Chains A and B, each alone.
Chain A
Amino acid sequence: MFANEQAVSVDTLIPECQKRFDEGLRLVGVSVVELKKDDAFDLLYHFDKDLELSHLRLTVPRLEPVPSISGVYFPALLYENEIKDQFGVNFQNILIDFGCTLYLEPEVVKSPFCTFTYVKKEKGKEEA
C-alpha cells in the first residue's frame, strides 16, 4: 500500500480519474501486477501534481472487463494497449484500440507476461 493510495472499483474508476483530471493531476503511468493466487490483476494508476504522487488501485478478476480511462486521460491509451498485449487485461473502449498488436504480431495468441491469459484478437483490429 502506497501513501496517497485509494482503492477503486470498476464503477468508480472513471469518476475518480475525471476528478483528478479536473484537479489538474497529470497521469504518470499505469502499472499492472498479476495476482496469481487470486486469479486477478492489480491495476495501479499513478498521478502527480507538483511532485506529489497519488495512486488508484483497481483489483479485477482475470478476464473481467475494465473500462478504459483514455477518454479522460488520452495518454492512457498507450499504457492500456501495452497491458492488453502483455497481460491480456480486458480493457474496453480504448480510444485507439490496437487489438493486441501494439507489440505483438497478429499470429501471437498468448499474453507473454501472464501465466494463463490468452490474447483475444478481434477481426479488423489487427491494424489500428
Chain B
Amino acid sequence: MRTILPFGPQHPVLPEPIHLKLVVEEETVVEALPNLGYVHRGLEKLTEIRDYNQMVNIVERVCGICSCIHSLNYCEAVEKLMNLEVPQRAHFLRVMWGEVHRIHSHLLWLGLFADGFGFESLFMQLWRIRERSMDIMEATAGNRVVISTNIVGGVRRDITNDQKTWILSEIDLIEKEVRALEKTLLDDYTVKRRCCGKGVLTKEQAHQLGAVGPCLRASGWAQDARQTGYAAYGQLDFEPVVEYDGDSYARSKVRFREVYAACDLVRQALAKLPEGELACKVKGKPEGEVWHRVEQPRGELYYYIKGNGTKNLERVRIRTPTFANIPPLLAMLPGCELSDVPVIVLSIDPCISCTER
C-alpha cells in the first residue's frame, strides 16, 4: 500500500526547514518530492536598493556557515567586472579565512552526523575542536561567524606574525584532534551499518543530476572549483578529495578528509603569505556582466552579476550548492528504508539558509 509521509519542515536530525513528501510502500521509499520556500528571504532583490559595496554584507548573510566564501565569490566577481588588480596578500588571506571556514563547516556537519547516530559525546568532541577555528576567526576578524573580512578590492583585516604562528599551532591541533576521532567515527559498526550502501549516487547519476561538492566527489568525480585557481589557489598545491562508492559513507569520508586538506591549504597559504597592501583603490562603477564560481564546503557556488554603470547592480544571481544537490537527493532516496531517510538527507549536508537566499 502506498502512503505519503511528510518529512520536515522541522525534523530532529535536521533543524532546518525543508519539507519532503515521501511516497512509501510499506517501509520503502519509492518517491520523494521537495517543497521549499519556508524561509525565503529574497536577498537577490536587495540589489535594487543597496549599492554594490553594501551587497558584500548582504551576501555574507546568505549563510552563516560559509559567509566568508560567499563574500569572496561576490567580491571576486565584482573585481572581475571592474578590472581591479587585487594585491597578492589579500588573495592569500582570503584563502586562509576561506579554508578556516571550511574546517568549521565540516566539523559542524561531522558533529551533526555523529549526533544523528546518537553519539552525543563524539558530537561534543567535534564541536569542541571546531571552537578552535571559531577562535581563529574571532582573533583575526573580531567575529566568530560572519567575519566581514572581504571587501571589493581586497580584504579589510591583516594578521600579525604572532597571529600567524598561533594560527599554525591551532591548525596543527585541529588536525591532530580530528585524526584522533577518525577511527571512532568512520570505523564504527553502527555508522557503517547505517551509511554503507545507503543513498547511493552512481558516477553517472552524479554528473547527470548536477551534483556538486562532496556529493560529486564521493561518486568518483575529481572536480573541485578550487582547481580553477581563483584567489591564491592557483599558487598552492591542491588535489580534490575523491571517493568512489557514492553512498552516505563515502560522502562522510570526503568531508572528513577535506578537513585535513583544508588544514594543509591554510599552512601553505600562510607559508607563502607575501608582504604588501591589503586592498587596491576602487574607481568607477561596475558595468557589464560576469559569472564567477568558487568552492564552498558544500560544493560549487556561482554568482552571476550584471552591472549597468550605476552604484546599484542590475542583477545578482546566486546558485548555492544545496540547491544543486536537491535533484541528486531525490535520486538517492527511492529504494531506501524509511529509517534511513534522515541520514541520507543529512549526507548531502543540506543548508536551507543558502537555498532560500
Contacts and interface: CB of A to CB of B under 8 A. Distances in A.
Chain B interface main SS type? mixed
Nearest to A114: B45
B200 to A, nearest CB: 17
A78 B306 CA distance: 22
B210 A27 contact: yes
Contacts of B209: 74-75
Nearest to A44: B304
A112 B42 CA distance: 8
A2 B293 CA distance: 14
A46 B37 contact: no
Interface in A55-74: 55, 73-74
Interface in B162-208: 207-208
A75 B315 contact: no
B131 interface: no
16 contacts: A2-B291, A28-B324, A31-B317, A33-B304, A33-B306, A44-B291, A46-B302, A51-B225, A75-B324, A75-B327, A96-B33, A102-B36, A102-B37, A103-B40, A113-B42, A113-B45
A26 B207 contact: yes
B45 A112 contact: yes
A33 B306 CA distance: 8
Interface in A73-90: 73-75, 77-78
Interface of A: 2, 21, 24, 26-29, 31-34, 44, 46, 50-51, 53, 55, 73-75, 77-78, 96, 102-104, 112-113, 128
A103 B302 contact: no
Given A28-B319, A74-B209, A51 B228 contact: yes
A96 B21 CA distance: 13
Given A53-B291, A75-B324, A32 B42 contact: no
A118 B36 CA distance: 21
Nearest to B293: A28
Contacts of B44: 113
A36 B291 CA distance: 21
Contact of A24 (B40, B207, B304): B207
Given A96-B33, A104-B37, A113-B44, A26 B315 contact: no
B227 interface: yes
Nearest to B223: A51
Given A112-B42, A113-B44, A73 B210 contact: yes
A103 B223 contact: no
Most central of A46, A74, A75, A113 by chain B CB within 10 Å: A75
B179 to A, nearest CB: 30
B294 interface: no
Question: 3 closest pairs, A vs B, by CB?
Answer: A103-B37, A75-B327, A75-B210
A18 to B, nearest CB: 13
Nearest to B212: A28
Interface in B296-326: 300, 302, 304, 306, 314-315, 317, 319, 323-324, 326
Contacts of B300: 28
A103 B36 contact: yes
B314 to A, nearest CB: 7
